[in-house]
């Protein structure tokens, strides 16, 4: 009887959708962190911060990364948006920022009264 082979860390293939932005970048295992840092012109600390919350990447950076890893920009953006939507703390911070910025729209300034 043949026993199944158990893998401690299964390798992602093209049929398995990446769960996070970091997994998408490393899906084919072609590039190192240094490669990404060099292409984007950022430090290791900043790369790690951006990987943790990829919503802080600029559109230009995402376009460069999509071209580098040879993935369509739509797939890269979909993964970024999905990951951003799952981060509840970041969602709350964005909602609070919108509420603060939209204050005047809903309660306009009162004109000064002449004395």
Cβ atoms within 10 A of the Cβ of 90, count? 16
For the entire predicted model, the pTM comes to 0.65
Q: How far apart are CA 75 and CA 26, in angstroms?
A: 14
Digit-coded pLDDT (tens) for 10-48: 444 455 555 788 888 888 888 999 999 999 999 999 999
Residues 45-103: tens digit of each pLDDT: 999 999 988 989 999 999 999 999 999 999 999 999 998 888 888 788 888 887 777 55
Which pLDDT does position 94 carry in this prediction? 80
Return the pLDDT at 5: 41
């Amino acid at each position: 009887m043949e026993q199944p082979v158990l893998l401690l860390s299964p390798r992602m293939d093209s049929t398995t959708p990446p769960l996070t932005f970091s997994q998408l970048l490393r899906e084919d295992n072609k590039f190192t962190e240094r490669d990404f840092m060099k292409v984007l012109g950022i430090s290791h600390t900043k790369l790690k911060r951006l990987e943790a919350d990829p919503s802080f990447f600029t559109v230009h950076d995402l376009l460069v990364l999509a071209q580098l890893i040879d993935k369509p920009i739509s797939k890269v953006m979909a993964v970024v948006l999905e990951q951003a939507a799952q981060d509840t703390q970041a969602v709350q911070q964005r909602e609070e920022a919108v509420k603060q910025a939209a204050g005047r729209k809903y309660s306009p300034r009162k004109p000064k009264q002449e004395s």
